[in-house]
Amino acid sequence: MVVSLGIIDPKTNQRWIIEATPDLPRQLKLLNDLAGVENKAPDGILLTHAHIGHYAGLMYLGREGMNANGVPVYALPRMKDYLQTNGPWSQLVYLKNINLIGIRPEEKIRLSPSVSITPFTVPHRDEFSETAGYLVEGSSKKLLFIPDIDKWEKWDKNIVDLVKTVDYAFLDATFFDGEEIQTRNISEIPHPFVIESMRLFGALPESERGKIHFIHFNHTNPLLNPAGMALEKVKEQGFAVARFGAVFPL
C-alpha cells in the first residue's frame, strides 16, 4: 500500500487526502467508511510532488473511472503546471474532472472551520515539480507529513525543532539502512535512512520520540516484516511505525 494521509473533519464530514496514489480507490473507501459516507469523491486532494506513486491515482477520477466532477486538487506551482501541460493529466483539467487549485509554500489554507494546512518545500529529486510536505492543523492538534526528502541535513529547516512543535510527525522512512538495496546506486535515490533518523532524534525525550511515525517504506524495507528485528529495534528506541488504517485525533 503506497503511503497517503486521509483527513476528516467530523463536524462537517468533509474528507481530504494527501497523495493520489495508485491505491487511491482502496484508500478512499476506507476514508469514506470512517466518515460514514458512501461512494463519494473526496472534498480535496493535496499533492506533494510529481513522482509517479504520489499522483498516478488521479487517473481514477477521469472519464474511464469515476468521471468525477471538479474534485479540488491542491498543488504547488510547478506541480500545477505539470498537470495542466502534460497528458493524460491535462485531460482531467479540460474535462473538469478535477479543479486545480494553486497553493504556495508557507501560506496557510483553511479547508474548513476546523482544519487548515500549510505546505512547505523540502529538498528532493525535483525533476518535474517541487516537493511539498504539509503541516496539518486540527481543532486541538497538529501533524507534520513529510513522505519524501533527500536528507534531513540538506533542508534549511531543523526537523528536530519542528517535531517539538507538533503532536504527530509522519516522516520519510523509505530505506532502513541502505543495505537492502544491492542492485542500484542508492546515491541516485537519496532518502534519510531509518537508522540515521533514529540517531538524529535519539537525544529527544521519550515523549518527543513517540510522536514520530515512520512512513513511506520501499518494498525492500525490513520494517515491513512484522516479526523482524528491524521493527523491534525501532520500537525499542521509542519510535512508531505507521500502518494502514491507523486513526489519529486532530
* 118, part of any domain: no
* 64, part of any domain: yes
Number of compact structural domains in the chain: 2
**Kind and range of the H or E run holding 90:** helix 89-94
Indicate the SS3 state at residue 144.
strand
Domain check: are 8 and 66 in the same one?
A: yes
Q: Cα–Cα distance between 190 and 204 in angstroms, integer?
A: 25
Domain check: are 146 and 243 in the same one?
A: yes
**Kind and range of the H or E run holding 214:** strand 212-215
pLDDT of residue 179: 83
pLDDT of residue 212: 98
On average, the pLDDT of the chain sits at 95
Share in percent of the chain as helix, strand, coil (round to 5): 30, 20, 50
Name residues of the chain where pLDDT drops below 50: none
- Would you give the DSSP letter of residue 46? E
Instruction: Work out the burial of residue 162: count CB atoms within 10 Å of its CB; fewer than 13 is exposed, 13-18 middle, 19 or more buried.
Output: middle
* 127, part of any domain: no
* 188, part of any domain: yes
CB contact set of 98 (below 8 Å; sequence gap of 6+): 45, 58, 61, 68, 70, 71, 72, 73, 92
CB contact set of 243 (below 8 Å; sequence gap of 6+): none
* 116, part of any domain: no
**93-134 residue pLDDT tens:** 999 999 999 999 999 999 999 999 999 999 999 999 999 999
User: Is the bond preceding residue 88 a cis peptide, omega within 30 degrees?
Assistant: yes
Domain check: are 100 and 147 in the same one?
A: no
Range of the domain at 205: 140-250
* 133, part of any domain: no
Q: Cα–Cα distance between 250 and 246 in angstroms, integer?
A: 13
